[in-house]
Amino acid sequence: SKKPVRVAVTGAAGQIGYALLFRIASGEMLGKDQPVILQLLEIPDEKAQNALKGVIMELEDCAFPLLAGIEAHSDPLQAFKDTDYALLVGARPRGPGMERADLLAANAQIFTAQGKALNAVASRNVKVLVVGNPANTNAYIAMKSAPDLPAKNFTAMLRLDHNRAASQLAAKTGTKVGDIKKLTVWGNHSPTMYADYRFATTNGQSIKALINDQVWNAETFLPTVGKRGAAIIAARGLSSAASAANAAIDHMRDWALGSNGEWVTMGVPSNGEYGIPAGIVFGFPVTTENGEYKIVEGLEIDAFSQECINKTLAELQGEQDGVKHLL
Ligand code: NAI
């Protein structure tokens, strides 16, 4: 049988953690033949550490055959030791009266420390997924704080936006979500993201041609996908957790095990593709194979798409400028 791999998860006692850990432990992320050791990180706060103990008791009680070990930590230098995968979920949420700059600064502190810890102790091939918001900028901060690790191994989660878009398009076209291919979401994980179905197909037919309605695209589809997170908070009183955890599983599984030629969306550092300045962590269409992702290149960007991409890029550059002095 395979040697266990180490999977670190931060914010492990939070909402997303509760929807995520059991699926990792059951083999849904890395395969039903891959044993895992969970290295869980929470803040030192007694309440959080106690909640983490409870989650660990439940993990034990699932008796997952693939779960080869569980560790609870409050120090990233221990939680990230030799880790092969790191899912950075814990972040500082925006509190009442908190300004954007305060939020960026609080998260810059967390992700600088975690990036440095990964740099010091993680596997040299660690695959990092940042879920905690602002996800792209937090991934950028962690990447910049880990100069000895490959920059390309730092990614941000755009997959929830991708899956939300797929679900809306399946409903609109009356087809199955599993039949939708070549969809992507460009840019920031925020309401400015640009979900792009110009190249998408369902059962091999062009979705753009099937829908043939640019007004629906601009005035219904994009706002629905962009504001989906807010709609879920309004309905549930809590932010999306199960769907976010599901997207994290999808992102890591495809990265580790391959997308079989299909496009998926990942937030990854640009190498200058599509005019996005190098280093910006941006949602791109990618294919994945042998543990590596590759940005899909050569797609035509029309005027409407360019405008959308410029908008989400400008927002990201603003965030990046807002943390530069802290790095
Ligand atoms: P939550 O508040 O339920 O849980 C977060 C957990 O992280 C808490 O238990 C907290 O103690 C812990 N934490 C905070 N700082 C930490 C640190 N420095 N080290 C370790 N743990 C730390 O929040 P929830 O619902 O689980 O969401 C987590 C994050 O994911 C939020 O930032 C949220 O905005 C983001 N998110 C991102 C999505 C995406 O698509 N990229 C989708 C949905 C949520």
Q: Report pTM.
A: 0.98
Would you put residue 242 in left (φ > 0), alpha (ψ -120 to 50) or beta?
A: alpha
Tell me how far the alpha carbon of residue 44 lies from the centroid of ligand 1, in angstroms: 15
Specify binding-site residues for substrate.
Answer: 94, 100, 133, 164
What is the DSSP secondary structure assignment for residue 260, as one 8-state letter? T
**Non-local CB neighbours of 269 within 8 Å, separated by 6+ positions:** 140, 143, 151, 152, 154, 278, 279, 280, 281, 282
Q: Looking at residue 260, what is its pLDDT?
A: 96
Residue 89's nearest CA partner among 151, 157, 37 is 157
Least confident of 83-97, 202-216, 270-284: 83-97
pLDDT at 12 over 90: yes
Nearest CA to ligand 1 atom 31: 132
Q: What is the pLDDT of residues 110-140, one digit of tens each?
A: 999 999 999 999 999 999 999 999 999 999 9
Q: How confident is the model at residue 96 (pLDDT cuts 50, 70, 90)?
A: confident
Query: Percentage helix, strand, coil, to 5, in the chain?
Result: 45, 20, 35
End-to-end CA distance of the chain: 43
ipTM for the whole predicted complex goes beyond 0.90: yes
Cβ(73) to ligand 1 under 6 A?
no
Token digits for 92?
């500082």
Q: How confident is the model at residue 101 (pLDDT cuts 50, 70, 90)?
A: confident
Q: How confident is the model at residue 213 (pLDDT cuts 50, 70, 90)?
A: very high
- Mean pLDDT of all residues in 79-106: 90
Residue 182's nearest CA partner among 293, 285, 267 is 285
Residue 189 falls in the annotated catalytic set:
yes
The average confidence (pLDDT) of the chain is 97
Tell me how far the alpha carbon of residue 8 lies from the centroid of ligand 1, in angstroms: 14
Q: What is the pLDDT of residues 24-58, one digit of tens each?
A: 999 999 999 999 999 999 999 999 999 999 999 99
pLDDT at 309 over 90: yes
Q: Looking at residue 74, what is its pLDDT?
A: 98
Q: How confident is the model at residue 93 (pLDDT cuts 50, 70, 90)?
A: confident
Q: Looking at residue 39, what is its pLDDT?
A: 99
pLDDT at 13 over 80: yes
Q: What is the pLDDT of residues 137-165, one digit of tens each?
A: 999 999 999 999 999 999 999 999 999 99
pLDDT at 1 over 90: no
Cβ(232) to ligand 1 under 6 A?
no
pLDDT at 206 over 90: yes
Secondary structure string (H, E, C) spanning 112-135: HHHHHHHHHHCCCCCEEEECCCCH
Cα gap 27→23, rounded to integer Å: 6
- Mean pLDDT of all residues in 219-229: 96
